[in-house]
Chain A
């Protein structure tokens, strides 16, 4: 009997023989990673100024941009509500802003269906800078010039973090679609 070459028996998602991907994992991984990224800044001690970019939003934006159609368009409501519980923002701000993000990116996508990574990075950068500024406006604090100055490093970090997040998300996506379930 003819045998497959070893390299043909498996691909980047694992063995192709007798294995299939796990449906639970394929569905749940994006939500779990976004929720974890929302909770992570809670554990960091930032007393004098915001030090971290909104990691939950970056993760959400990354999944949306890199895997279009994976998250339903209304997903900003549950995920935003979860983010609001930990972010320190008034409840509702992330629900509003994440929902608007979903709609805006959907519109951008219908205008520019073919995009490269640099364009996606540009979109994400605009998105996260706008998010930080609007979130600051609706945070319930009285705006001072000093606050805007302290937000600049936060924005810069967010822009620089996007490629890393993109890389991490593509790794997580490989894990998400890995053939982990044994058939038969």
Chain B
């Protein structure tokens, strides 16, 4: 289709100027975009309030679609079960899978308990989740992996809190708005999670690869002790996640660790819970620059504020 003739400026000075102004404005717009982009790459949290307001506005719709999504998921599961075996073996399979994860976690808890008891007989209470909710949305078109929650500041959610489902860790709260929050999923390439093998104390980092798998990097290099099928759980290092929560299963070995598949597929999970930061003191301490700590002459207390 040819452009309409009204956009050909011809000899009219007025039309020529308006076409020129249009180009000028568009170029200015592109420059503004470039500056904003550079600024938000430099300070990722700079536009969080704007985004937060937009999320708050859309989150009621997200709640509705999340409810429908989990409902329709159930319908599909039922159909699939009939299709496969004529019985509800899909549900049973899922139950067995969760039981296996629980078993691996229990193994990790036993190891954890032994270690703690041997150290100082630290009594650890049950963790009370800050909020239990559904994932209402995600960044489905971007190469970043974010999910959105329908709970926010008014519900007590704070930046850095771990998000987990019944199956394992989902991610960590990145931005909090009034009644919604943004979660950095484990599969994002900027997500790094300290993990250890459930059966012993082999520690590693699990980094997102951007395609649904985690890249596991051992901290102690040398002979790779990992095996396919090993269950990785959080180690508690860094202070954000409490130790012993299932993260991933190793599917492939590499010289410095392996490739692991996530336990908690966020789209397959119904409800997630936001838990308080495991060791807030440790997290704060790690954010205070070393020089400042030396200057003030205190260590943990300075970070604890």
Contacts and interface: CB of A to CB of B under 8 A. Distances in A.
Interface in A89-146: 89-100, 102-103, 106, 109-110, 113-115, 135-136, 138-144, 146
A141 B144 contact: yes
B135 interface: yes
A6 B47 CA distance: 57
A87 interface: yes
Contacts of B267: 45-48
A85 B49 CA distance: 10
Interface stretch (A9-17, A67-75, A171-179): A67-75
B82 interface: no
* Residue from B23, B36, B213 having most chain A Cβ neighbours under 10 A: B36
B238 interface: no
B258 to A, nearest CB: 14
B290 interface: no
Nearest to B46: A91
A141 B135 contact: no
A144 B209 contact: yes
A55 B142 CA distance: 11
A87 B188 CA distance: 15
Contacts of B38: 92
A87 B50 CA distance: 13
Contacts of B65: 43
Contact of B62 (A42, A46, A96, A154): A42
Contacts of B58: 39, 42-43, 86
Given A69-B6, A140-B44, A47 B190 contact: no
Given A73-B22, A92-B35, A99-B29, A48 B187 contact: yes
Interface residues of A, number: 66
Nearest to B191: A141
A68 B209 contact: no
B132 to A, nearest CB: 17
A183 interface: no
A35 B281 CA distance: 43
Interface of A: 39, 41-56, 66, 68-69, 72-74, 76-77, 80, 84-100, 102-103, 106, 109-110, 113-115, 135-136, 138-144, 146-147, 149-151, 154
Interface of B: 1-4, 6-7, 22-23, 25-30, 32-41, 44, 46-47, 50-51, 54, 58, 61-62, 65-66, 69, 135-148, 185, 187-190, 209-213, 262, 265-267
